[in-house]
A and B are shown apart, each in its own frame.
Chain A
């Protein structure tokens, strides 16, 4: 047994992640967080900021080292899917992205077996040239996720995006020409100044291009973003501007109608909703995304990246400086800190890295070994985000207890309220249940 050290922590529980222990092939989704962008969007509260050339170069070195180290901690894993997210990963040069991908391939045997691995790269229109795309395709990226958000230039401007609809078209066509046969387009509803009409137009324009996958989220106003200042408190804004649409977000009702419109319009032209906010042409569901909802193993690299490995959740430090400090020691940066005497000092990694931990581990934050009960909760509230819901049989298989025994009363109650439905083995949210999903999902906390 390779995993005795970890297994001790959860007392030999037979959870989902453990199921594969001892089997021939252990798989994980690999996520790389690229914390750079051209310019911060007004609604964005993710870890990203414009970076200098040097910062980016250093980051690539660090990530490569982090990958090596994590591979040492989790030997024998195969990367079934790879996802480069951000920020805007394409703010790195194609060569840099290729280097990271190569590192992943060599450390986590990302190779074609029965199925082609899914290797996704997020990008924003205007950040990649035709030439870049060709290089990236050649490097092995086979799925491109383009952050469009809206087909209306007015709306894009309000969001603080750097591109226009035309820029998007150019990138999209260039990607097709470069040979990307699996493309996702991100769009958003509930945008300031957006109407049902303009949103419908966005949907129509996007579907006409026939991307294989569409992610349709509603805008969330996060505290601490410029958008929060501008649109954060609807009541206050109404007082100030009255019902002037330009200053307001679409109403709750409009937002809901947009959500429904998404499902309807996309459904009419062949897209299938497989998760609350994700739609795909048959066979093009995002495998990496599904891993999250089905609680498969996934390992994140880069600041703030989240992981679930062998039923342990952890997040990488969000502090870029801390990142630097840890990897300066062994990485290729090697500049160290120059002391007053002009002597190059070995940086103080001895302080940041506690003894007995490798460097990558010292960046793990919020480490949490999931108890069996927490695993069950997650199984339910994550699994129910998928349109086909969860399988009672799988539940029993993972936890060795019938789902009825744990959630019988809750299931009965929610079914009675018309929020959940069952069809044979599967338990899933109804339309009404999707509308109030937080209330429903909270019921599954034990």
Chain B
């Protein structure tokens, strides 16, 4: 690669509310700059996980290097980073932003600003990025670009009059976007002659090359043979290869220098040596201070993950280690359950994150998992004055040792059309929300502000929000802090035996309701046995709800006509297959799905 003048480099990302068309715009930009021919193009090129394509969402930030021939006659290098839109993946966005100098804000011409539009803009501004808006989906019949432009200027307070009006889907206006990238995204600064200072913003593991470190060079240069040092972990290595990002592939080059975005490999086998957010420097010519990195995001939701097949525990451990490498927000530590054996307590940014990780583990690592009910971190203050952070309900100390407990509270912003304010406020009320304010963005839309206990929104809040607003409400939240709360541990007893993996912490006022629903749900989940099985919910040893799984239905004594036994055999095989997915707790076989059933407790009947 020819050496490139810093003034011709543009490092930028695309931010937007989910579904406003980030990935489609990225596709068009890639197509327009000729990196891929339209024959090679497929939708959402940068979403290369199957999961991303299926769900139509971006989970991982992706980077691609493009060459753009601008109208001024110059050739520019674009490093484009596509980012996720969902609130759970803010952390990914944050990492991507740290590698950029500017951001394209995509706003849907029909929907206008949504909760995550705001959240992402704030994130970008926190990183000192220059943000310029693009109005997408102008081909929609309901598009109202004028209105949206006004909204952007009023609500966000950034200039939007010259925002390109585009349709990423139909390739309208893409040229304008590219020109504005050249014009509005600042060129990187930083001296190539200074000591190496590069920010690790992502990494992946390759079984041949070891860890592939994605970095943004702020200062200095790096090439094959450079001896590098990770400033936070102290790990050192010799660079084997440097390069940049093609479409879905790594393209080696001679050297990376200040202002560039690229990757390096250095036969790093230990995943833990390269921490995302760390600074890479030259071992022989180190820089003084590391880069600030970025705010470490703490997991908010915890659950137990167990291999369905207990022998797969080491496989699960390896898989988690590899996933954590490019998803530093994933936290895990070993735990054991009487019901489920050896597994891990894992921390996630939210329920979607949990869902995605679980699915990635199952698909990419071919694991069959049992997941327990998700919970949050509670602070338990003991009478001894000691405070413990509780992530696993089973570890709750005896009530006599507890002075009081605190639960996490979030500040939530819900953007909703005015007709649904009523139902949404009712939902927040049901979830123990504390109303703060209503701000009218315009006459038909409002921003509701609430404080909500996190454990009330990790279940099905998002779904409930969508269903009560016919899909119109959008939602974003931030951890606000901890507050004292009347919490109890709800235990589930199956056939009189407490099943640790089914316990959860709940507000005392909802304990009865949740216990009852849990019992009902489990009654549906647990198949009939040879004997009757009582299912009980108890708080502090006192049973508050009960259901019974009746003893097994007796078999119909089927006729096997004409010696055709295949049907019979299929029936028996089905019976046996069902058994495989069961966990033995005492005398009772519990299907794995039962452990997740607490998730599906709809709060409305």
Question: Can you list, as one digit per residue, whether each of B551-587 has a CB less than 8 Å from chain A (1) or not (0)?
Answer: 0111111111111111011011101100100000000
Bin chain A's interface residue count: 35 or more
Known contacts A306-B565, A315-B566; is-contact A252 B572 (Cβ 8 Å): no
Cβ-defined contact, B565 with A378, below 8 A: yes
Interface residues of A in 247-301 (CB under 8 A from B): 252, 255-256, 259, 276-277, 291-292, 298, 300
Cβ-defined contact, B556 with A218, below 8 A: yes
Q: Residue B49 at the A interface, CB < 8 A?
A: no
Q: Residue B530 at the A interface, CB < 8 A?
A: yes
Alpha-carbon separation in the docked complex, A46 to B559 (Å): 12
Q: Residue A78 at the B interface, CB < 8 A?
A: no
Cβ-defined contact, B559 with A438, below 8 A: no
The interface residues of chain A lying within 8 Å CB-to-CB of B558 are 217, 220
Q: Residue A442 at the B interface, CB < 8 A?
A: yes
Cβ-defined contact, B575 with A292, below 8 A: no
Residue in contact with B555 in the complex, picked from A378, A381, A438, CB distance below 8 Å: A438
- Within the complex, what minimum Cβ distance (angstroms) separates A340 from chain B? 41
Known contacts A381-B572, A438-B572; is-contact A33 B557 (Cβ 8 Å): no
Q: Residue A194 at the B interface, CB < 8 A?
A: no
Cβ-defined contact, A298 with B576, below 8 A: no
Cβ-defined contact, A292 with B576, below 8 A: no
Q: Residue A417 at the B interface, CB < 8 A?
A: yes
Cβ-defined contact, A306 with B576, below 8 A: no
Cβ-defined contact, A445 with B573, below 8 A: yes
Q: Name B559's closest neighbour in chain A (CB-CB).
A: A217
Alpha-carbon separation in the docked complex, A313 to B562 (Å): 13
Alpha-carbon separation in the docked complex, A436 to B530 (Å): 8
Q: Residue A305 at the B interface, CB < 8 A?
A: yes
Cβ-defined contact, B563 with A31, below 8 A: yes
Q: Name B565's closest neighbour in chain A (CB-CB).
A: A382
The interface residues of chain B lying within 8 Å CB-to-CB of A277 are 557, 559
Residue in contact with A252 in the complex, picked from B530, B553, B561, B576, CB distance below 8 Å: B553
Residue in contact with A306 in the complex, picked from B555, B557, B562, B571, CB distance below 8 Å: B562
The interface residues of chain A lying within 8 Å CB-to-CB of B576 are 442-443, 445
Cβ-defined contact, A315 with B564, below 8 A: yes
Cβ-defined contact, B554 with A439, below 8 A: no
- Within the complex, what minimum Cβ distance (angstroms) separates A308 from chain B? 7
The interface residues of chain A lying within 8 Å CB-to-CB of B554 are 252, 255-256, 435-436
Which residue of A31, A190, A435, A442 has the most chain B CB atoms within 10 A of its CB atom?
A: A442
The interface residues of chain B lying within 8 Å CB-to-CB of A438 are 555, 571-572, 575
Known contacts A256-B554, A442-B576; is-contact A308 B530 (Cβ 8 Å): no
Cβ-defined contact, A436 with B559, below 8 A: no
Alpha-carbon separation in the docked complex, A306 to B567 (Å): 11
Alpha-carbon separation in the docked complex, A197 to B561 (Å): 28
Cβ-defined contact, A217 with B563, below 8 A: no
Q: Residue A333 at the B interface, CB < 8 A?
A: no
Cβ-defined contact, B552 with A436, below 8 A: yes
Residue in contact with B575 in the complex, picked from A276, A385, A439, CB distance below 8 Å: A439
Known contacts A381-B572, A436-B530; is-contact A298 B563 (Cβ 8 Å): yes
Q: Residue A347 at the B interface, CB < 8 A?
A: no
Alpha-carbon separation in the docked complex, A15 to B276 (Å): 62
Q: Name B550's closest neighbour in chain A (CB-CB).
A: A252
Cβ-defined contact, A439 with B562, below 8 A: no
Question: Can you list, as one digit per residue, whether each of B106-138 has a CB less than 8 Å from chain A (1) or not (0)?
Answer: 000000000000000000000000000000000
Residue in contact with B562 in the complex, picked from A31, A190, A434, A443, CB distance below 8 Å: A31
Interface residues of A in 142-182 (CB under 8 A from B): none
The interface residues of chain A lying within 8 Å CB-to-CB of B563 are 29, 31, 291-292, 298, 300, 306-308
Q: Residue A375 at the B interface, CB < 8 A?
A: no
Q: Residue A366 at the B interface, CB < 8 A?
A: yes
Alpha-carbon separation in the docked complex, A443 to B572 (Å): 8
The interface residues of chain A lying within 8 Å CB-to-CB of B569 are 378, 381
Residue in contact with B560 in the complex, picked from A29, A190, A292, A443, CB distance below 8 Å: A292
Question: Can you list, as one digit per residue, whether each of B128-165 has a CB less than 8 Å from chain A (1) or not (0)?
Answer: 00000000000000000000000000000000000000
Cβ-defined contact, B552 with A439, below 8 A: yes
Alpha-carbon separation in the docked complex, A292 to B569 (Å): 14
The interface residues of chain B lying within 8 Å CB-to-CB of A385 are 560
Question: Can you list, as one digit per residue, whether each of A300-341 has a CB less than 8 Å from chain B (1) or not (0)?
Answer: 100011111000010100000000000000000000000000
Cβ-defined contact, B562 with A300, below 8 A: yes
Q: Residue A128 at the B interface, CB < 8 A?
A: no
- Within the complex, what minimum Cβ distance (angstroms) separates B530 from chain A? 7
Q: Residue A430 at the B interface, CB < 8 A?
A: no
The interface residues of chain B lying within 8 Å CB-to-CB of A443 are 576
Alpha-carbon separation in the docked complex, A304 to B561 (Å): 11
The interface residues of chain A lying within 8 Å CB-to-CB of B552 are 436, 439
Alpha-carbon separation in the docked complex, A46 to B569 (Å): 18
Q: Residue A437 at the B interface, CB < 8 A?
A: yes
Which residue of A307, A438, A443 has the most chain B CB atoms within 10 A of its CB atom?
A: A438
Which residue of B552, B559, B563, B566 has the most chain A CB atoms within 10 A of its CB atom?
A: B563
- Within the complex, what minimum Cβ distance (angstroms) separates A435 from chain B? 5
The interface residues of chain B lying within 8 Å CB-to-CB of A190 are 556
Alpha-carbon separation in the docked complex, A436 to B568 (Å): 14
Alpha-carbon separation in the docked complex, A378 to B553 (Å): 24
Residue in contact with A313 in the complex, picked from B566, B575, B579, CB distance below 8 Å: B566
Q: Name B560's closest neighbour in chain A (CB-CB).
A: A292
Alpha-carbon separation in the docked complex, A441 to B565 (Å): 13
Cβ-defined contact, B564 with A218, below 8 A: no
Given contacts A217-B559, A256-B554, A304-B562, 12 further A-B contacts (CB under 8 A): A215-B559, A252-B553, A291-B563, A307-B563, A313-B565, A366-B566, A436-B555, A439-B530, A442-B576, A442-B579, A443-B576, A445-B572
A–B complex contacts, Cβ < 8 Å, 6 sampled? A29-B563, A306-B564, A313-B566, A439-B552, A442-B573, A442-B575
User: Can you list the 9 inter-chain pairs with the closest CB atoms, starting with the nearest?
Assistant: A442-B575, A306-B564, A292-B563, A442-B572, A435-B554, A442-B576, A306-B563, A217-B559, A438-B555
Report which A residues bind B (CB closer than 8 A).
29, 31, 33, 46, 85, 190, 215, 217-218, 220, 252, 255-256, 259, 276-277, 291-292, 298, 300, 304-308, 313, 315, 366, 378, 381-382, 385, 417, 419, 434-439, 441-443, 445
